[in-house]
Amino acid sequence: MAFSLFNKAKSPVIQRIHSDDATRLRLKYDTYYHIFDKQEGTRVWKDGKEFIMLSSNDYLGLAHHPKIKEAGSEAIKKWGSSTTGARLANGGRSFHRELEEELAAFVGKEACHVFSAGYLACASSVTGFADRKDILFADKNLHSSLWSGIKLSGARCERFSHNHPGHLKELLEYEDEKTPKIFIFEGVYSMEGHIAKLPEFMKLADEYNAFVVLDDAHGFGVLGEQGRGTADHFNLTNEVDVICASFSKSLAGSGGFVAASQDAINYMRSHSKQAIFSAALSPSACASAQAALRIMQDEPEHQKRLVKNLERYRKILSDLKLDIWDSETPAIPIVLGEKEKVYYFWKALQEKGIYTIISIAPGVPPGKDLIRTAISASHTDEDLDRIEEAMHYACSKI
């Protein structure tokens, strides 16, 4: 080993790294960051063992669609691997504009901006509009990307109880009516699978003159006509000011978008650090998302199959009297309430070749420790038979 004059071990940060309990426990129980050697349809392989993936968000089952693969590789051939810079610096490309126009038309907004990650898009849906002097009202169970946006905005934020318009109203009554207000919701909550009570929330937005941001990462592709999302599902697209979403769920890609009026997108492009300082969506990611968006419109069979699979999966879980936290969508938690139970349930599923993900407090509210699962249109009847058998086995282990 090279000799060094510096004693790095003295650094409190290095000491913290070496004594972190969260990391120690994660490594001990080996619950996250697994590496698979191969994936095909709903199957993944690790150390030669085959698993049915039950925690991906490939709701429409498009991740292996030949048209998407083709579009991604053709785009690399034509445009290269990257535009290697932020759009403000070295420009966007016609493929960005094309996808933005198609997405805006699809969700029913005038304009759109695409980002290289859903996380950036959703953070930007807050940072791109919020001013320090505003007050933000956020559902307690929002995704981390929105909390990042909220923190970065520097604005005061009040949290209301999850999906609870009555609590939001109470909070609103304390505030000065002149202070600009922004409401932040998810269309479908990623962990719980709950659909936002948008009609009630939008009445409050109207009453209090609030600007509304909706993260529809899990509603896009699933709800509404052809998968236009939660706002479309409730016929409230015009009332919601900003719709953001990720490409990594129903579109089976990577990247994300923010859609709004043309003026709002112009404004966001001047104010969002995520738009200004982060490199543009790559040619292949853009072309793949565009192909997936067209498939969503041309091939309704994927949405139909998702509904059918969801029905069967919900029945499997309800026959076993498993608590799914009133999920109404393909994002389905299995709430077991104690982290030990969650761990043994998860291990039993693994033993039977079903791959899921654990989420325990503080990531979820106390008493809601859960296994997070998601059903896909690409799960076959045979997959569902195996899932059913594994669920029975896991229940017998707790």
Ligand X SMILES: Cc1ncc(COP(=O)(O)O)c(C=O)c1O
Binding footprint of ligand X on the chain (CB under 6 A): 117-119, 122, 143, 145, 186, 190, 215, 217-218, 246, 248, 256
Least distance (Å) from ligand X to the CB of residue 149?
A: 10
Cβ-based nearer residue to ligand X, 118 or 283: 118
The dihedrals phi and psi of 256, each to the nearest 5 degrees, come to: -165, 175
Least distance (Å) from ligand X to the CB of residue 49?
A: 26
Cβ-based nearer residue to ligand X, 146 or 172: 146
For residue 181, the SS3 value is strand
Cβ-based nearer residue to ligand X, 227 or 391: 227
Q: 43 forms bridges with which residues in the sheet? A: 40, 52
Q: Please state, in angstroms and as integers, the Cα–Cα distance from residue 184 to each residue in 140, 169, 171, 274, following that order.
A: 10, 14, 14, 18
Least distance (Å) from ligand X to the CB of residue 290?
A: 16
- Whole-angstrom Cα distance, residue 190 to residue 374? 10
Q: What is the DSSP letter of 32?
A: S
Least distance (Å) from ligand X to the CB of residue 189?
A: 8
From the list 307, 311, 324, the residue with the least C-alpha distance to 60 is 307
DSSP string covering 72-124: HHHHHHHH-S---SBHHHH---HHHHHHHHHHHHHHT-SEEEEES-HHHHHHH
Least distance (Å) from ligand X to the CB of residue 190?
A: 4
Least distance (Å) from ligand X to the CB of residue 147?
A: 10
Q: Quote the radius of gyration of the chain (alpha carbons, Å).
A: 22
Q: Please state, in angstroms and as integers, the Cα–Cα distance from residue 361 to each residue in 103, 210, 265, following that order.
A: 36, 32, 37
Q: Find all residues with CB under 8 Å of 67, minimum gap 6, and list them.
A: 291, 294, 295
Please count the CA atoms within 13 angstroms of the CA of 216 that sit on its side-chain side: 29
- Whole-angstrom Cα distance, residue 30 to residue 35? 11
- Whole-angstrom Cα distance, residue 272 to residue 223? 28
Cβ-based nearer residue to ligand X, 248 or 284: 248
Cβ-based nearer residue to ligand X, 18 or 140: 140
Which residue's CB comes closest to ligand X? Answer: 118
Cβ-based nearer residue to ligand X, 62 or 394: 62
Cβ-based nearer residue to ligand X, 119 or 313: 119
Least distance (Å) from ligand X to the CB of residue 213?
A: 11
- Whole-angstrom Cα distance, residue 109 to residue 258? 10
Least distance (Å) from ligand X to the CB of residue 18?
A: 30
